[in-house]
Chains A and B, each alone.
Chain A
Amino acid sequence: MTEEPATEKKRNPIVPFLRVPEDPKQEPYLWGSKCKACGSVFLGERIACGKCGDTEPLEEIHLSGDGEIYVFSVVYQTVPGLDAPYVAAIIDLPEGVSIRGNVYGLDPEKPSPEWFGKKVKMYTEKVRTDREGNDVIAAKFRVLN
């Protein structure tokens, strides 16, 4: 019997706009594209500007991961296998783009207008293993006190 060489397990981002460096000592980060003509910012890669239609290549930018909650819902009924309820927010990033995120550090049973504008910080963690055995890495958000 010949043994297949063990393929190296990878750390794959759950979305294309999260970059996971090959060096595990480097932190994953969010990235986007900025239109050189109008300055609009988009998550991940863009072929052209979705606001002004400019077709010059967009500038890749690093997104800080420091944001604030714009709005939220608390989701109770969801797909099988997920822990619920969870706080599902729209988070505004300082670079001028927004991202969907789960927010931790809030009591889901007590949704409140006080959550509007709360500062949050991104962190990443492995959320599951894919069918090829790779780690799936997601961006999540924690409330800053």
Chain B
Amino acid sequence: MRDVAMVGGNMIKFGRYPDKDVVQLAADATIGALKDAGISINEVEMVASGNLYQSNAMIGQRIMKEIGATGVPVVNVANACATGSTAFREAYLAIASGMYDVALAIGSEQMGKMGLLGAGGGNRDYSTEGVMGTGLMPGVFGQAGVEHMRKYGTKMEHFAKISVKNHKHSVHNPYAQYRKETPLEDVMNARMIAWPNTLLMCCPTGDGAAAAVLMSAEKARQYTTNPVWVAASALTSDPWQERNPTMFDVNTVTRNAAKQAYDQAGLGPEDLTQVELHDCFATAELIHYENLGLCGDGEAGEFIDRGDPCVGGRIPVNASGGLLSKGHPLGATGVANIVEIMWHLRGQAGKRQVENSKVGLAHVIGLGSACTIHIIKK
């Protein structure tokens, strides 16, 4: 496999764009990424487009018709919340395999005020929601956090502190949908959605788009003297586990991906200078501290208590404000968190800059399940 350089990246501010369609949002992000790389669409040899709700409607090709339909291969990728990062990985593989020298990954989603995921569709007469447990995301990730409570005595306050941290980070991120600090008492006392996740511990929906330009090392040298490198790209599905799929196992799939990614990069969690991880709910972020090896098993509560994952702390997590602040436009998320890391590695992250960041890890999990981990380094 060949080395893969990330030469360009861009995202739009996440939010709600009722007056635009998703192709326009994606085109906007993509043109910015191409400009950042110093190329035009004519140099792109392969496109991977991630979008969960529009992949059955050829959105990748529709984006190309908007920005330049050059006739190159376009794949439409869907992989739940890991849709964008799986598209990034497809572009990575296209370069790493030696087949192409310039690949484009696009992630986009327009969700508007879509509401609770998992609530819609099917024959309502036979819906089990609220009759035989829950399949709604706040409850599912509530249970995942409650499992940590059961094992280690974690308190609701530990989870709430994660929202405080991420919202504090978001104040400095002009690309975040919400940029408001939320003190601990506000998080704890916000409307309960699914215990222990209150409203301020759940990511909002929204619209977003991001794009990344990847190149072979040789090609990258034509455009930049200073690219960032994709040191690892891991993708796992959930292996058998006794309670899965009754209870989705978001832990094993992440641990397996982390091990693969660290092995591939020849690095360990101690080498990371920052992490963007999948905080769809505050409960999720806490369990992933351990799943990614940022702290030992059972230590996540102390980890957040000490402020280790704060910007300025031992290993900053979600300097962007995370999904809790940005929102989570499914297809956009996985490309955007890699672009965020790229900006930090280049020293272009403005007031939220993680000083002297050299190695960043981007983690996404799509329930059902798919986990991607990318390690990006200078």
B69 within 8 A of A: no
Contact A84 B243 (CB under 8 A): no
Known contacts being A90-B133, A101-B132, A136-B125, is A77 close to B138, with CB within 8 Å? yes
Contact A82 B143 (CB under 8 A): no
Bits for A100-135, please: 1 = Cβ < 8 Å to B, else 0. 111000000001010010000000000111110000
Bound Cα distance A83, B147 (Å): 25
Residues on A with C-beta less than 8 A from B75 are none
Residues on B with C-beta less than 8 A from A128 are 125
Contact A102 B133 (CB under 8 A): yes
B31 within 8 A of A: no
A68 to chain B, nearest CB (A): 12
B195 within 8 A of A: yes
Residues on A with C-beta less than 8 A from B128 are 14-15, 100, 138
Q: Size band of the A side of the interface?
A: 35 or more
From A72, A76, A83, B192 is in contact (CB under 8 Å) with A76
Residues on B with C-beta less than 8 A from A130 are 123, 125-126
From B126, B129, B193, A79 is in contact (CB under 8 Å) with B129
List CB contacts (< 8 Å) of B171-207 with chain A.
Answer: 191-196
Known contacts being A74-B192, A78-B119, is A140 close to B131, with CB within 8 Å? yes
Contact A113 B149 (CB under 8 A): yes
Contact B243 A88 (CB under 8 A): no
Bound Cα distance A47, B262 (Å): 36
Central interface residue in B116, B134, B135, B150, by most chain A CB within 10 Å: B134
Contact B130 A90 (CB under 8 A): no
Known contacts being A71-B143, A75-B139, is A99 close to B246, with CB within 8 Å? yes
Residues on A with C-beta less than 8 A from B240 are 40, 50-51
A20 within 8 A of B: no
Contact B132 A86 (CB under 8 A): no
Central interface residue in B125, B127, B142, B193, by most chain A CB within 10 Å: B125
A63 within 8 A of B: no
Bound Cα distance A78, B193 (Å): 8
List CB contacts (< 8 Å) of B246-260 with chain A.
Answer: 246-247
Bound Cα distance A70, B247 (Å): 10
Contact A78 B130 (CB under 8 A): yes
Contact B130 A77 (CB under 8 A): no
Q: Which residue of B lies closest to A84 (CB)?
A: B130
A58 within 8 A of B: no
B146 within 8 A of A: yes
B279 to chain A, nearest CB (A): 17
Contact A86 B130 (CB under 8 A): yes
Pull 10 A–B residue pairs with CB atoms less than 8 Å apart, ordered by A.
Answer: A40-B242, A70-B150, A75-B139, A88-B130, A90-B133, A92-B243, A97-B246, A102-B133, A113-B153, A139-B132
Tell me the B residues contacting A by CB distance below 8 Å: 116, 119, 123, 125-136, 138-140, 142-143, 146-147, 149-150, 153, 191-196, 240, 242-243, 246-247
Tell me the A residues contacting B by CB distance below 8 Å: 12, 14-15, 40, 43, 50-51, 70-79, 82-86, 88-90, 92, 96-102, 111, 113, 116, 127-131, 136, 138-140
